[in-house]
Structure 1
């Protein structure tokens, strides 16, 4: 009885402890919920305290101060916002210092704040004023891109987006062609950094038929202007002007749906290039002129080229289909697959076969890939298909032909095969390890050590090593041949 009483007391104590623990966790949860940074919790601080915190947080940060001023201006009406944006754009345009890569992110944030204010605030209240501002924003592009190391196109993206914004704002403002056309034309003449590429295509809805016609006349006059008196590089600038004008005329032709005009502005000597022929053929095909599309594609001397872009090949197959020459299209797809192991051609070929014929055709394609002269192209094909069993079979049969310096391909293949084909993955990993050590590629020692660890993890899953040495024997052989490569072994350790 005494023991039973003690047991009950212990249970009550444990229950009370658990309840206390649950209560403490609950209280901590409530406290955490109240201190979580969200709008609802911050509202409890009240406006005066929040204002003090904003002043404190913005001290020393020009960007945050500008954001606060913009918000304050928004409360005063559209005119104040316009004044703040215009003032900032003028300031950005007057700056002349070089903008290093470390400052690009800050400048990007500044530009995006101005652009979004124009689009989200000013354009909603006064589209005409917003268009003037967004165009002023675009005019900054030349001076900013000249001063900036923008190799990743971070800032360029803001200006390209601003062109799309300009079209939407122009439509909302109901601007006519007479006001838009001169601005677009001026931009095309000042496109040193490619920031206005595709501007005509983007602005076409706002320009309308009248604007496109007027713009075409201006560009034609610009194209026919006589060469300027040289100065240094004068001839280069003339060539650049002619290229820009022809590109603009082609964009106008596309916007007007005028295929013949597009082709007319393509220099004849370029039409035998595969990508240009493809470009022309696609437009002719879309216009229902498949015969002419095939003629454009056949201007390319395929036999004289080592490499033919797949875009040209796909366009030719599409064109043959449009001409109701399906058997020729299929034969062409198979021939191009046999030549390049293109998975895209093979998929298109198989999709058009009757039921069950595709299985036999796929096996025929795999046989072609297994015997393909370039084992790396074959491996890449099997991985992309995907056919991991075939990839493993290829590795085991032709490992001696692998170029172990092709680290990205072999590493990716080993990773893909490891879970279900550990022997093939081990062959690939060891091949890269051996290459790295035999050629003393010290920069790869860390990777080779990781590969060796992967081999150790795969070893228990290999049921039959065949002619491949077991893992312990392989490591012993490495120590015997490369024991002095301490850089490698330090990573292994």
Structure 2
């Protein structure tokens, strides 16, 4: 049954003030968060000080709280936090933006304690609070830089939840210039006050604090467009070496591509190699994400310098290593007219020859060239590993309607992988593959380079006839 549409503003007005008041009182009796919003709305009639007093009581309770919040009470706790945020961002901000900013900073300062008590369920409220801060800062008529800068500094230095750091670009863009200047000076003093960060063993707590302060200064440098200040701060970060890709991006953006190349080609320590689940399914090896990012920035620098041949060569290397369709699209888009056909032929040949056969199949499906996907499947039909069901099953489904031969090859590989290993938990999937093969039998063509389905079915019965769990599933599906 379709859900009722929410009432419109005109419909609510039509109810009349008394009826609406009765409904509001009824809801307030059972909904603490709504009761809090209602009290704030009533207080707003007396002025912003009355609304601020309500918020201050809620914030004081939040700041004093220490006990762990039981799972059964966490939803109510999060609703109360959300109501407090709405009062600050809506009721109080409309009348007194400066007071709203002050209370919003207090709410964000309580994030670490609230998360420790209630877990990550409360994180969404604090993310929303950080996201609401720029709009409030933009409404400030001006600021001497002192109190607001101190509040932002405390959040950067003392809070480990990093909500302000994640929203720093928008916050700094909206903050008054005097506040940003005062904050930068305060951050610089805070880093100096930490003293030497080297040591054996290193003081990881101090290093983490220094990193938070320096990263916020880097965002200030970005706001000012001061690339040299950003680089100086990047080289001062404790721990690993500077993020040369980030430096390169800013130098390219500033029209200093030659300097960017010099940074990007410095030797860099390898980072931890990573692998997405999608890439794991198609058999790609783990990659160094920092090295890949540097390569993409190097391409941008080379193009800025007019060395398109070197940029294209680097793209080609990345493409052959990853079989990433988006990289090939970038390569083709930058070719002169009439050269794209030859380039695509070379790319498709490289994909056909790649040892990463499941990744090659994914490429042709994504391009999309289903005809080439079929050719790949059929020409390399003895190489498919049915254990890669997350890659092969969707491919078989995609090919089934227009390229039945390729679908049959893949479905057989998937089915054989399950039955050969006796994976009883996967017999349900195996029965679906068998049913798909039964359905494709009528579309067999005399020239197919694989044995007919009737022979494959007979061999399947001979080899796996005792796997009664599988055959019972087949019979239940009516696919015998």
Give the TM-score, by structure 2 length. 0.82
- The one of 415, 430, 454 equivalent to 1:448 is 430
Q: Secondary structure at the match of 2:119?
A: coil
Cα pair distance change 1:103/1:371, threshold 3 Å? farther
Distance in 1 between the 2:74 and 2:395 partners?
Answer: 38
Distance in 2 between the 1:209 and 1:227 partners?
Answer: 28
- The one of 311, 314, 326 equivalent to 1:329 is 311
Structure 1 position 216 matched with structure 2 position 191: no
Cα pair distance change 1:209/1:175, threshold 3 Å? closer
Cα pair distance change 1:480/1:163, threshold 3 Å? same
Distance in 1 between the 2:76 and 2:95 partners?
Answer: 28
Match of 2:411 in 1: 429
Deviation at 1:208, TM superposition (A): 4.1
Cα pair distance change 1:54/1:316, threshold 3 Å? same
Could you say what the CA RMSD is over the residues aligned between the two structures, in angstroms? Answer: 3.6
Q: Which has the larger radius of gyration?
A: 1
Give the TM-score, by structure 1 length. 0.80
- The one of 173, 176, 190 equivalent to 1:205 is 173
Deviation at 1:276, TM superposition (A): 2.2
Deviation string, structure 1 residues 148-175 (Cα, Å, up to 9, x no partner):
332xxx6434323322322321231324
Unaligned ranges ≥5, structure 1: 1-31
Match of 1:245 in 2: 213
Deviation at 1:474, TM superposition (A): 4.0
Structure 1 position 481 matched with structure 2 position 448: no
Deviation string, structure 1 residues 332-361 (Cα, Å, up to 9, x no partner):
323333343232332222112222221121
Deviation at 1:63, TM superposition (A): 3.7
Distance in 2 between the 1:372 and 1:380 partners?
Answer: 12
Q: Secondary structure at the match of 1:265?
A: helix
User: Are the equivalent residues in 1 in contact too, given 2:354–2:360 (CA < 8 A)?
Assistant: yes
Unaligned ranges ≥5, structure 2: 274-285
Q: Secondary structure at the match of 1:197?
A: helix
Match of 1:158 in 2: 125
Distance in 2 between the 1:218 and 1:303 partners?
Answer: 34
Match of 2:161 in 1: 193
Match of 2:55 in 1: 85
Structure 1 position 297 matched with structure 2 position 264: yes
Structure 1 position 143 matched with structure 2 position 110: no
Q: Secondary structure at the match of 1:367?
A: helix
Match of 1:418 in 2: 400
- The one of 247, 260, 279 equivalent to 2:246 is 279
Distance in 1 between the 2:203 and 2:314 partners?
Answer: 45
Deviation at 1:50, TM superposition (A): 5.7
User: Are the equivalent residues in 2 in contact too, given 1:180–1:207 (CA < 8 A)?
Assistant: no
Structure number with higher helix proportion:
1
Match of 1:114 in 2: 84
Distance in 2 between the 1:183 and 1:328 partners?
Answer: 48
- The one of 163, 168, 171 equivalent to 2:138 is 171
User: Are the equivalent residues in 1 in contact too, given 2:184–2:220 (CA < 8 A)?
Assistant: yes
Distance in 2 between the 1:165 and 1:268 partners?
Answer: 31
